[in-house]
């Protein structure tokens, strides 16, 4: 989970965006705009390319240039139920991690579990408030309260074990690259920790200069989706290029 989830967080974390002349009101397209590839360039000049594959607008999987990948499975009703994640562990050995998804009675994502060892549980406290519990080998390790506004996670506050940790986030008004994928709202939004729009600034404990704070600036295409972004995190800058099916 290390590289791909740091990437997805990088996709979201982040300075105020410049439009490069594109209207902030996203242009409507007759068919879904889908992210097909990203190229991330790190501060040391190395790059990581990630390709995404679909069946219609249903995300089938992703694979990156270092050999890590994930494939997704859906049940007969079309609901995301599992994935097979292949990534390098701390010993640089490629291992396969099964991921399972469960839902509550209202069809909302209730939890996802990695190899029956790490589990993330979502408890819906209100329409825009979710308590997220992290378990390691069935023991609660930390909890956060996620608050949303207009489909964007605007704050993340530590509870009990994680008390004292707080992030406040700001967003642009353009489309997130993943917003059109199947089951974005029901599952992927929480599994990949995404929002409807693009995160431009994330401040830890009110300290904009904290190493745990981040900022990102974007350029956009004519349909209102990011083309590039520049991420500043822990004093280092990386860039991401986005490629779409149109």
Predicted confidence (pLDDT) per residue in 60-116, tens digit: 999 999 999 999 999 999 999 999 999 999 999 999 999 999 999 999 999 999 998
Both structure tokens of 84: 């097979």
Both structure tokens of 44: 């040391």
Asked if residue 146 lies in contact with residue 132, where contact means CB atoms within 8 angstroms, the answer is: yes
CA distances from 24 to 11, 31, 200 (A): 19, 20, 14
Asked if residue 245 lies in contact with residue 29, where contact means CB atoms within 8 angstroms, the answer is: no
Asked if residue 205 lies in contact with residue 153, where contact means CB atoms within 8 angstroms, the answer is: no
User: In the predicted model, is pLDDT for residue 32 greater than 50?
Assistant: yes
Three-state secondary-structure class, residue 59: strand
pLDDT at res. 30: 65
pLDDT at res. 22: 38
* CA atoms 99, 102, 103, 104: torsion sign: negative
Angle at 176 between CA 132 and CA 159, to 5 degrees: 15
pTM score: 0.84
Q: CATH code for 2-244?
A: 2.40.160
Residues 6+ apart with CB under 8 A from 97: 1, 84, 85, 86, 87, 114, 115
Q: Give the pLDDT mean for 3-23.
A: 36
Pairing of strands 152-159, 80-88: unpaired
pLDDT band at 49 (very low <50, low <70, confident <90, very high): very high
Residues 6+ apart with CB under 8 A from 36: 51, 52, 243, 244, 245
How does pLDDT run across 168-206, given as a tens digit for each residue? 999 999 999 999 999 999 999 999 999 999 999 999 888
Q: How many CB atoms lie within 10 A of CB 196?
A: 19
- Alpha-carbon distance of 187 to 219, in angstroms, equals 27
Angle at 120 between CA 114 and CA 126, to 5 degrees: 155
Domain boundaries, the chain: 2-244
């Amino acid at each position: 989970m290390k590289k791909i989830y740091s990437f997805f967080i990088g996709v979201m974390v982040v300075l105020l965006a410049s439009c490069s002349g594109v209207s902030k009101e996203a242009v409507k397209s007759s068919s879904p705009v889908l992210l097909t590839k990203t190229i991330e360039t790190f501060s040391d000049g190395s790059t990581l390319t990630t390709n995404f594959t679909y069946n219609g607008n249903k995300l089938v999987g992703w694979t990156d240039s270092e050999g890590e990948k994930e494939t997704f499975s859906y049940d007969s009703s079309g609901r995301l139920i599992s994935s097979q994640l292949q990534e390098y562990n701390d010993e640089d050995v490629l291992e396969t991690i099964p991921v399972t998804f469960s839902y509550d009675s209202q069809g909302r994502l209730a939890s996802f579990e990695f190899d029956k060892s790490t589990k993330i549980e979502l408890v819906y406290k209100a329409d825009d408030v979710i308590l997220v519990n992290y378990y390691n080998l069935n023991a609660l390790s930390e909890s956060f309260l996620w608050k949303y506004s207009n489909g964007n996670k605007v704050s993340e506050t530590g509870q009990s074990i994680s008390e004292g940790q707080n992030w406040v986030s700001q967003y642009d008004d353009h489309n997130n690259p993943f917003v059109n994928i199947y089951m974005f709202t029901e599952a992927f939004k929480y599994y990949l920790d995404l929002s409807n729009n693009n995160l431009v600034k994330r401040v830890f404990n009110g300290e904009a200069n904290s190493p745990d704070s981040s900022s990102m600036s974007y350029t956009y295409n004519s349909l209102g989706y990011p083309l590039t972004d520049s991420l500043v995190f822990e004093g280092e800058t990386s860039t991401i290029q986005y490629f779409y099916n149109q």
